[in-house]
Structure 1
Amino acid sequence: MSKFVFTGDIRNNVCYGLMYGAAKMGMHFVALGPKDLHIDDEVLHYCQEQAKLSNGKIEVLDNIEEAVKDADVIYTDIWVSMGEDESLYKPRVEMLSPYKVTIDMMKKTGKSSTLFMHCLPSFHDFETEVASMKQKEGIDIREVEDEVFRSSQSVVFDEAENRMHTIKAVIVSTLVGHIDIIDI
């Protein structure tokens, strides 16, 4: 059974979407984040029930070593989304920094084949205006180290390319359906 670990803000839509998919596909999914963040009980219960049907497993953990051991994939997402209140940066960074994807975290999997994934955009260096500005304020908003993001274990750009082709297929499907409706 493939082990998929989502680390960071485990209450967000990306974590939930991946958890739903993993539950249906019979994967071992681990939501790794601070105890203060709680997955909605109804969502968690549904996913755990679906995982039982598919011979999968859904866990919520805050212990990094336990969560990432033997992981096939480590996935994360940004900690503060565009448009969210500026005052969220400092408390989110303080809460989520232990769950940043680092070279050390990748080594704790015990596997050199563990992949790193991210839905993008990502804060992995200080070259963006926002990351640079926050660094000057003493806040490191990077959810992943650049060394991991640019490593051979990272498949973030392959993931983005696959998403692009999926989106194009949905657009074509939508247009074809529309053309059939208007009867050209």
Structure 2
Amino acid sequence: MAQVFQGRSLLAEKDFTREELEYLIDFSAHLKDLKKRNIPHRYLEGKNICLLFEKASTRTRAAFTVASIDLGAHPEYLGKSDIQLGKKESVEDTAKVLGSMFDGIEFRGFSQKTVENLAKFSGVPVWNGLTDEWHPTQMIADFLTIKENFGTLAGLKLVYVGDGRNNVANSLLVTGAILGVNVTICAPEALFPAKELVEMAGKFAEKSGSVIAVTADVAEGVKDADILYTDVWVSMGEEDKFAERIEQLLPYQINMEMIKKTGNEDVILLHCLPAFHDTETQTGKEIAETFGLSEMEVTDGAFRSKHGRQFEQAENRMHSIKAIMAATLGNLFIPKV
């Protein structure tokens, strides 16, 4: 038997086997059950966790903070104004310093290379809380939410509609392919995922038996979907592209008409949040005033419908992050999976 997770970093889902990802999903469900029953699970007693944020966050920061404390660890938040990462100090030097003081490091930022270098030079587990390429901690929560709803993963059809090149689309395509979930990216051709990424997912799909598809046709793409998934149309750092994205992606807005097109009364809706489903935010008001659009990637009706699981999904960020940290840093006995 081997402790296959001990000391490992979670930088991208492609680095983990199907069995390992399934273990993390199931372990997340177990820790969620313990939390609900108020049973202590302090697997990281006395550990110190560095939370390194270049990009702002609600769910990732809150999830890592609460998860750390529940596990008995102390989290320390370092925002972009608190550190010299890449400005006055190299990532390598920063990694060596933080690795000497902390037992684990979370990074949320822009470059995948940064999180890889943190893992390379820190000597401690590093967890990717989001980069421009991948969003692995989100995936464990997403597929936990799906498994809670359907009792299984393999053979389900997940359709991502929207910007098919972003980190969430990348992660869904590859993670789904590894887990045997059929994944369709439904997007305008200009926003299709990179060819290399589709090829990578295809290789995983051959092994798992899943079906991978990329299409611009909404009716064809969403037909028979079990899960509809979307994300904001404009990623952090692309705020000047609202007009362009609205024109490209309005036909891919999740609304009740699209939900009906799935032909599945039990289809669920996922969104990694925040969502522009109304004008109750500053950004929402600005979009409405500038473009005359009160709802973007998802309508308020669809968002609040019986199909929505986005808040369960958001809560599951904490349970899944807890499982990831405990498995890689908690010195648990985990049989080879």
State which drifts further: 166-175 or 103-112: 166-175
1:3-152 mapped onto 2 (5 Å cutoff)? 3-86=157-240, 88-140=241-293, 142-152=296-306
Is the contact made by 1:19 and 1:29 (CA closer than 8 Å) also made in structure 2? Answer: yes
| Alignment CA distance shift 1:84-1:107 (3 Å) | same
State which drifts further: 14-23 or 141-150: 141-150
Whole-Å Cα distance in 2 between the matches of residues 97 and 151 of structure 1? 20
* Residue identity in the other structure for 1:147: G
TM-score, length-scaled by structure 2: 0.50
Whole-Å Cα distance in 2 between the matches of residues 58 and 6 of structure 1? 12
Whole-Å Cα distance in 2 between the matches of residues 74 and 167 of structure 1? 23
Deviation of 1:139 (Å) = 4.6
| Alignment CA distance shift 1:81-1:37 (3 Å) | closer
Whole-Å Cα distance in 1 between the matches of residues 162 and 303 of structure 2? 15
Q: Identify unmatched segments of 5+ residues in structure 2.
A: 1-154, 332-337
1:157-172 mapped onto 2 (5 Å cutoff)? 157-171=311-325
1:153 is the counterpart of 2:307: yes
- SS of the counterpart of 2:276? coil
Is the contact made by 2:176 and 2:182 (CA closer than 8 Å) also made in structure 1? Answer: yes
Partner residue, 1:180: none
Whole-Å Cα distance in 2 between the matches of residues 27 and 172 of structure 1? 26
Whole-Å Cα distance in 2 between the matches of residues 28 and 80 of structure 1? 26
Cα deviation digits, residues 72-114 of structure 1 (max 9, x gap): 000000011244333x000011001100001000000011100
- SS of the counterpart of 2:269? strand
Whole-Å Cα distance in 2 between the matches of residues 35 and 21 of structure 1? 22
* Residue identity in the other structure for 2:280: E
TM-score, length-scaled by structure 1: 0.89
Structure of larger gyration radius = 2
Q: Could you say which structure has the greater relative contact order, defined with CA pairs below 8 angstroms and 6 or more residues apart? A: 2
Is the contact made by 1:93 and 1:139 (CA closer than 8 Å) also made in structure 2? Answer: no
- SS of the counterpart of 2:190? coil
* Residue identity in the other structure for 1:39: P
| Alignment CA distance shift 1:15-1:172 (3 Å) | same
Whole-Å Cα distance in 2 between the matches of residues 147 and 14 of structure 1? 23
Cα deviation digits, residues 19-53 of structure 1 (max 9, x gap): 11110111211000001123111111110111011
Is the contact made by 2:163 and 2:192 (CA closer than 8 Å) also made in structure 1? Answer: no
* Residue identity in the other structure for 1:101: I
State which drifts further: 37-46 or 133-142: 133-142
Is the contact made by 1:35 and 1:62 (CA closer than 8 Å) also made in structure 2? Answer: yes
Q: Identify unmatched segments of 5+ residues in structure 1.
A: 178-184
Cα RMSD (Å): 1.6
Deviation of 1:168 (Å) = 3.3
- SS of the counterpart of 2:191? coil
